[in-house]
Amino acid sequence: MTTRLKDWIPAICVAILISTFSTHYFSGEETARIIIPLLHRLFPFATDRELRWMHIGIRKLAHITEFGAFSIAVFHGVRGPRRGWNLRWALITLVIAVSYAGLDEWHQSFVPLREARVRDVFIDATGALMAQILVLIYAKLHKNSPQHSGPAGNLLSVSSGK
């Protein structure tokens, strides 16, 4: 059991990080105090409107990045000691990631300076899906490596898993 728990520690850590980012300390108003002046220094001729759009873009890329990392970490937990990639593991991972994205937005509905947005769940889901595509590509590129334990098999079926 402790081995299985170890497989889930990265996902738990990323989930805690995501929940931390969902507090009022990371609201748009709070991050704008740091990011917009920095952007103004980098792009001195940008208008206030352009700076606000860049800030929004950075925040949405953060959603994609954090849920991409969460997706990879959850996949690691779902897969456990098995190796490779299979569609079932990826789908379970996506269900968990999208569910957590919904839970995260629901949590934000109770946080001052934050609001829940369905659009952000879709952005988070995009990050999780993109990460699973990267995991699949990585698995395909490394399926015949000497570090791969067990038969490579079909990547759309259970790969050397039990």
Asked if 94 contacts 155 with a C-beta cutoff of 8 angstroms, the reply is: no
Task: Indicate the pTM of the whole model.
Answer: 0.84
Residue-averaged pLDDT of the chain: 88
Q: Report pLDDT digits (tens) over 95-110.
A: 999 999 999 999 998 8
Asked if 97 contacts 74 with a C-beta cutoff of 8 angstroms, the reply is: yes
At 144 the pLDDT is 65
Structural tokens at position 75: 């996949």
Nearest alpha carbon to residue 85 among 134, 125, 126: 134
| 17: CB partners within 8 A, 6+ apart | 66
SS3 161: coil
Q: Report pLDDT digits (tens) over 4-60.
A: 889 999 999 999 999 999 888 888 899 999 999 999 999 999 999 999 999 999 999
pLDDT category at 159 given cuts 50, 70, 90 is: low
Q: Is the pLDDT of residue 154 over 50?
A: no
Asked if 128 contacts 70 with a C-beta cutoff of 8 angstroms, the reply is: yes
Residue 27 DSSP symbol: S
Domain-wise residue ranges, the chain? 2-23+64-141
At 24 the pLDDT is 86
At 28 the pLDDT is 87
At 1 the pLDDT is 59
